[in-house]
Amino acid sequence: MAQKTTAKTASKTSTNTIHLHPKRIRSGVPGFDELVGGGVPEGNLLVVTGDPGSGKTNFCYRFLYGGANDYEEPGVYISLEESEPEIIKEAAYYGYDFSTLIQQRKLLIETVSLYDFDKLKNTIEEAVERIKAKRLVIDPGVVFRLFFERELEARKTILILGKMLKRINVTTIITNELSLDKISSLFGLEEFVADGVILLYHTKLENRFIRSIGVLKMRGTKISEKLHPIEIGANGLRVLSKQELFEEL
């Protein structure tokens, strides 16, 4: 009898261990995975928040490009502002060949007006299903704040969106705007729905600007509690994970 009890206990412990250590994906952003224990837990919903020029969209480009090009994980880019040709042109400037990925059915770009939320949801589900996407970007998420007049309605809609993203099992990034050192809340998305919040900063120090990144939270993994510099060049965005902000200033 004792052996049976031990076996059951071991089985339960094993199940719990699996639950506590979810499958991770490589973000595709050089240097970032070192800040989150080696990778992002699969299926997490992340909010990437930053001020203008901090690299939010570039981070998203790298996330999708790295996933599709390096890890065979197709992605969907939902733009609430720019058209597909504009996105392809901007991505190419940083070395991300979106055109080829689109031809290979590893990337899908859709421009959607948020003023029809049902259309937004349907477009996401159809696009993810069409190319069997594993990654999703919705940019810029700040548009959510412009659409809803009542906060209660906005919160309900955000919750519906979050549940839908979990159901279709994609690792998602939604961008948000940071202004005057304060986060413009996406009606509780960061606090209650998002699994992770990533902060990007574009700070003026004397005669130059410094970009940096910090992980405010990330469910399912340990995180770095320090700010680290970011570089954006001809090969796109990379995180200098071995350095701390200001250490060389």
In a domain, 11, yes or no: no
> Long-range contacts of range 84-93, CB-CB < 8 Å, 24 or more positions apart?
84/109, 84/110, 84/111, 90/57, 90/61, 91/61, 91/65
d(CA 95, CA 54): 18
Q: Has residue 207 got a pLDDT over 50?
A: yes
Is residue 176 one of the residues assigned to a domain?
yes
State residue 21's pLDDT score.
Answer: 60
Which position has the higher pLDDT, 113 or 149?
113
Across residues 78-103, what is the average pLDDT?
Answer: 96
Report the pLDDT averaged over residues 127-137: 98
pLDDT classification of 179: cutoffs 50, 70, 90: low
In a domain, 3, yes or no: no
Q: Are 170 and 41 in contact (CB under 8 A)?
A: no
Q: How much is the pLDDT for 146?
A: 65
Overall average pLDDT of the 217-245 stretch: 92
Mean pLDDT on 211-216: 94
Above 80 in pLDDT, residue 6? no
With a cut of 70, say whether residue 1 has pLDDT above it: no
Q: What are phi and psi of 186, to 5 degrees?
A: -90, 50
Least confident of 3-7, 44-48, 69-73, 193-197: 3-7
Where in the sequence is the domain holding 117, given as residue range(s)? Answer: 25-239
Number of domains in the chain: 1
The DSSP element (H or E) to which 154 belongs, if any, is helix 151-167
Helix (H) / strand (E) element for 119: namely helix 117-131
Percent of the chain at pLDDT > 90 equals 59
* 176 pLDDT more than 90: no
Q: Say if 7 falls within a structural domain.
A: no
User: 208 is written with which tokens?
Assistant: 């130059």
Task: Give the range among 29-43, 146-160, 207-221, 229-243 with minimum mean pLDDT.
Answer: 146-160
CATH number for the domain that contains residue 72: 3.40.50.300
225 against 158, higher pLDDT? 225
With respect to residue 107, please indicate whether it lies within any of the assigned structural domains.
Answer: yes
Q: Residue 71: inside a domain, yes or no?
A: yes
Question: Hunting for tokens 């990778």 — which residue is that?
Answer: 39
Residue 6 lies in a domain: no
The answer to whether 111 and 83 have CB atoms below 8 angstroms apart is yes
Q: What integer best gives the mean pLDDT of the chain?
A: 85
pLDDT at position 180 over 50:
no
Q: What is the mean pLDDT of residues 135-154?
A: 78
- Omega before 140 within 30 of 0, i.e. cis: yes
Report yes or no on 18 lying in a domain.
Answer: no
Beta strands in 105-249, from DSSP E residues, in sequence order: 107-111, 135-139, 171-179, 182-183, 196-205, 208-218, 228-233, 236-239
Residue 147 pLDDT level (bands cut at 50, 70, 90): low
β-pair partners for 24 = 41
- Maximum average pLDDT range among 19-33, 90-104, 180-194: 90-104
DSSP character string of 34-91? GGGTTSEETT-EEEEEE-TTSSHHHHHHHHHHHHHHHS---EEEEESSS-HHHHHHHH
